[in-house]
Amino acid sequence: MATERVEEAIEAIRLSGGRITVDRRAVIEALDRSDDHLTAEQLADAVWAQHPDINLATIYRTLELFERLDIAFHVHIGHGPSRWHLADDVHHHLVCEVCDKVIEIPDSTFDPLRVRLETDTGFVIDPHHFSLSGRCAECAAATPDAPNAGEASQG
Ligand SMILES: [Zn+2]
Ligand SMILES: [Zn+2]
Ligand SMILES: [Zn+2]
């Protein structure tokens, strides 16, 4: 069963003049099924569950194509390989350096910073490409000897 976002991604391929192949559809469906932040290899496992004949190089090429067509994008979350998202699911990531928890935050969170940086430096940030690292609320509370802990109380 194709969901609406699968149909939208397929329509984007069609509009770009690309062919709708079994491989491309399989990768879109794997992206759609995963709520998690899967690496290309984890996505390949998801694809192979239903289409074991599609090879890894094809899956990588398909992801690159999707990125050029704005159907999917990759994000760097902490160390290790990048993770993949369908492009209709734009959000940003905070990753805890202590427990590796990933917290998703809306695009609008960066608006004040985006405007400030553009005004001050002309630099246009792309905050979804990399995550911000730090400590989640629980880990920050558990390590009161943090470098900035003293400054906050002094206002
Ligand atoms: Zn995400
Ligand atoms: Zn944490
Ligand atoms: Zn990258």
Counting ligands in written order, the one closest to the CA of 36 is 1
Q: Are residues 58 and 75 in the same domain?
A: yes
Angle among Cα 49, 53, 54 to the nearest 5 degrees reads 85
Q: Please tell me the distance between residue 90's alpha carbon and the centre of ligand 3 in angstroms.
A: 15
Domain's final residue, options 62, 88, 114: 88
Q: Are residues 118 and 68 in the same domain?
A: no
Q: Are residues 8 and 43 in the same domain?
A: yes
Q: Are residues 18 and 52 in the same domain?
A: yes
Q: Are residues 72 and 126 in the same domain?
A: no
Residue 39 belongs to domain with CATH number: 1.10.10.10
pLDDT tens, residue order, the chain (155 aa): 568 989 999 999 999 999 999 999 999 999 998 877 899 999 999 999 999 999 999 999 999 999 999 999 999 998 889 999 988 777 899 999 999 999 999 988 999 999 999 999 999 988 888 999 999 999 999 976 655 544 544 44
Q: Please tell me the distance between residue 106's alpha carbon and the centre of ligand 3 in angstroms.
A: 19
**Cα four-point dihedral sign 131, 80, 6, 63:** positive
- Angle 22-33/4-15 helices, nearest 10 degrees? 140
Cβ–Cβ under 8 Å, residues 74 and 67: yes
Q: Are residues 80 and 105 in the same domain?
A: no
Q: Are residues 94 and 78 in the same domain?
A: no
Distance CA 114, CA 120 (A): 10
Q: Which domain holds residue 114?
A: 90-147
Q: Please tell me the distance between residue 54's alpha carbon and the centre of ligand 1 in angstroms.
A: 26
Query: Whole-prediction pTM value?
Result: 0.79
String of DSSP letters for 119-130: HHH-----TTSB
Residue 152 within any structural domain of the chain? no
Residue 115 within any structural domain of the chain? yes
Instruction: List CB-based neighbours of ion ligand 2 within 5 Å.
Output: 96, 98-99, 101, 136, 139
Q: Which two tokens stand for residue 3?
A: 């969901």
Residue 154 within any structural domain of the chain? no
**Which run of H or E residues covers position 81?**
none
Distance CA 97, CA 95 (A): 6
Helices (H) and strands (E) in the chain, counts: 7, 6
